[in-house]
Structure 1
């Protein structure tokens, strides 16, 4: 039986993942031993329950998934990133931080069960597009340092809003996706444009596309 901890800052999403896993896994194959919502609760849960695999969101209150892995350097658990983000810098940074795989939240329950099994067995698991980012980074065709310098100006939530807006999402769609209000989306968007010295959604889309963030 593979012991799993689910780490995500949205309770509804954690509940959905739990239900999907329990519905898709063979009887006795998975044991979801704990859930956590931020860096401190994740670190505590993983240390207490010693799971085989941690399903880890990239953007978490308290420092993100990378901070969780940094604090748990001596713990014998494998990390599988499960994130709404499929941006190159998130994928590469998370893998450099110690994750064995990275899948997006569009994955099906059956696919996620298989990804967990493979990571538990020691495999590295990526969708084809995300694997391409990792290969590009090692080949030197993505300037990760330059991307990181730009993104350091933004908070984690601003990065999420920026990416969705740049992809053409309406404010209402962003609010629904991130479980925040439309007013909050507008506030984050204003902050993003100001910090990046951009004046419109069109400029933001071009900025994100140039940096391969879409």
Structure 2
């Protein structure tokens, strides 16, 4: 996991989506690490303590531990979540927002919306 104080983790079971988000973030000077499962991210987070990302871009629908469960497990860590999903569901949106998601974006999302959300979390003007 990245040791930078303003780092971003991208968690999406579709590797191509994770890499595309990583390239997008890199294009605006933001480093990120990509994980293809909630389990892989949580394991890396536990192994890298106390170095945690400032933000996680988190897919909701993943095999194994889904995004809502990852978000629940992050409660109290101070890690901000930006939720992304291909299947917008009112109940899931409400759960994500109740758990503190700072943004909820439906795939395919506008690049500027994601960059804006990440910049807001990182405190970038």
Q: CA deviation at 1:100?
A: 1.8
1:63 aligns to what? 65
Structure 2's unaligned 5+ residue stretches are none
Larger Rg: 1
Q: CA deviation at 1:74?
A: 3.2
Which secondary structure does the structure 2 equivalent of 1:9 belong to? coil
Higher strand share: 2
Report the CA distance between 1:119 and its aligned residue: 3.0
What is the alpha-carbon distance in structure 1 between the residues aligned to residue 23 and residue 38 of structure 2? 23
Structure 1 unmatched runs, 5+: 122-214
Contact 1:50/1:76 (<8 A) preserved: no
Secondary structure of 1:43 counterpart: helix
Give aligned pairs, total: 116
Aligned to 2:14: 10
Higher relative contact order (CA 8 A, sep 6+): 2
Corresponding residue number in structure 2 for 1:102: 104
| TM-score, scaled to structure 1 | 0.49
Q: Secondary structure at the match of 2:81?
A: strand
Q: Which runs of 4+ in 1 moved over 6 A?
A: none
TM-score by length of 2: 0.80
**Superposition CA RMSD, Å:** 1.9
